[in-house]
Amino acid sequence: MRYSRLLHQLLGKGRWHYWRHDQKSAILQLPLDILLLITDNLALHDKFLLSHTCKALRQVLLQDWDIKLPQLSFEHQIAFWVGLAYTLPNRWVCLKCCKLHPINTSDVPAAFTLVRYNRTVPCLLEISRGIETSHYSIQHYHIQLALKLSRLGNIYQQYLGALMQTFTRTLCPHMRIIGGLMGSRSSKKSSINVIVHWCKIMSPREGSILLKEATLLEDGVELAYDSPGQWVFNSCLHCLTDFAVIISTDKRKAIIRAWHDFGIEGSPLDASWKAHVKAKDEQYWFDVVGLHLDYTHGSIRELWSEDVSHGTGTSHAKVRSVFTKLIDGWSKV
């Protein structure tokens, strides 16, 4: 076994040292080979944390972190910082700087534009890395902090409340009504016609399937309009978002509700987060249409309904959005 001779010496010294001061320590009573079998299965951030618990374990893990970390790929470095951030109540992982930043309680999605332009966040994040409209932007670290503070339950709870505020005027990158309902449908149809007949990057059949997917929200509103007072439910095919539409009985108001699942505490590079976010070079709504996600439609709405009153509730980040619009604003439904 690697380093076994040296480690036997070091551990022997550590065990003796520790045993002399605290005989209740169990981990340092383990045979070295067994201890190494355990530590070999730890993630790097766990090794880092363990190596900082006492001199003996630092010797056992034997890493020069200043050399080790820069050798990692970008993805592994982010994973390392994500692992550390999980244990640190007031830190979040910055994708741009690839390091941890301190929490800033004035930085909430509804104030993101203000915070960013005032440079009160330590770096200028890419605008395309969140889910946003002009005055609202959820960044990955907002989700991560909400999950962490919800899990901890006893720190920054006011900030957690601000992070969990219901938001309006955005659904998901894949479902957008562009202008009025009729205009939105015809605008999307025209864009797809260009792709099919001019760019020739998909067949007419693929184009009609894409149009069907891209106008799920328009379909939902039209269906709800035929049954005023009744909720019409559907889901996005490309991100974990359930939505529902209702038209008031006087047909003057439409309400669209959405429930989002932004995934678990993890990396901003995780597929569960990336499915919600526009890539940097995507400019048009059809650019964001990607692979279908396999999930039970309606399940996110049901998860939310289970404990609507508690922050994020579970280890998954569930956020609800509500969009209300007067029918007059949509003109020709």
- CA 332 remoteness from chain centre: 36
Contacts of 199 (CB under 8 A, 6+ apart): none
How would DSSP label each residue in 156-186?
A: SHHHHHHHT--B-S--BTTB---SSHHHHHH
Question: Is residue 210 a contact partner of residue 202, using CB atoms and an 8 Å limit?
Answer: yes
For the bound state, the minimum distance from the C-beta of residue 92 to Zn ion, rounded and expressed in Å, comes to 9
Question: Is residue 46 a contact partner of residue 38, using CB atoms and an 8 Å limit?
Answer: no
**How far is the C-alpha of 276 from the C-alpha of 274, rounded, in Å?**
5
Instruction: Pick the closer one to Zn ion by CB: 160 or 172.
Output: 172
Instruction: Pick the closer one to Zn ion by CB: 253 or 297.
Output: 297
Residue 219 buriedness (CB in 10 A; 0-12 / 13-18 / 19+): middle
**How far is the C-alpha of 82 from the C-alpha of 61, rounded, in Å?**
20
CA distance readout (Å), 152 to 48, 86, 111, 251: 22, 10, 24, 45
For the bound state, the minimum distance from the C-beta of residue 94 to Zn ion, rounded and expressed in Å, comes to 3
For the bound state, the minimum distance from the C-beta of residue 77 to Zn ion, rounded and expressed in Å, comes to 13
Instruction: Pick the closer one to Zn ion by CB: 150 or 234.
Output: 234
For the bound state, the minimum distance from the C-beta of residue 319 to Zn ion, rounded and expressed in Å, comes to 13
The residues of the shown chain that bind Zn ion, judged by CB under 5 A, are 94, 96-97, 123, 172, 174, 236, 238-239, 241
Question: Is residue 92 a contact partner of residue 85, using CB atoms and an 8 Å limit?
Answer: yes
For the bound state, the minimum distance from the C-beta of residue 272 to Zn ion, rounded and expressed in Å, comes to 12
For the bound state, the minimum distance from the C-beta of residue 107 to Zn ion, rounded and expressed in Å, comes to 12
Instruction: Pick the closer one to Zn ion by CB: 50 or 121.
Output: 121
Instruction: Pick the closer one to Zn ion by CB: 108 or 172.
Output: 172
Closest by CA position to 219, among listed 181, 260, 257: 181
The single-letter DSSP state of residue 194 is I
By DSSP bridging, strand 99-102 and strand 91-94 are antiparallel
Instruction: Pick the closer one to Zn ion by CB: 241 or 321.
Output: 241
Instruction: Pick the closer one to Zn ion by CB: 92 or 330.
Output: 92
For the bound state, the minimum distance from the C-beta of residue 120 to Zn ion, rounded and expressed in Å, comes to 12
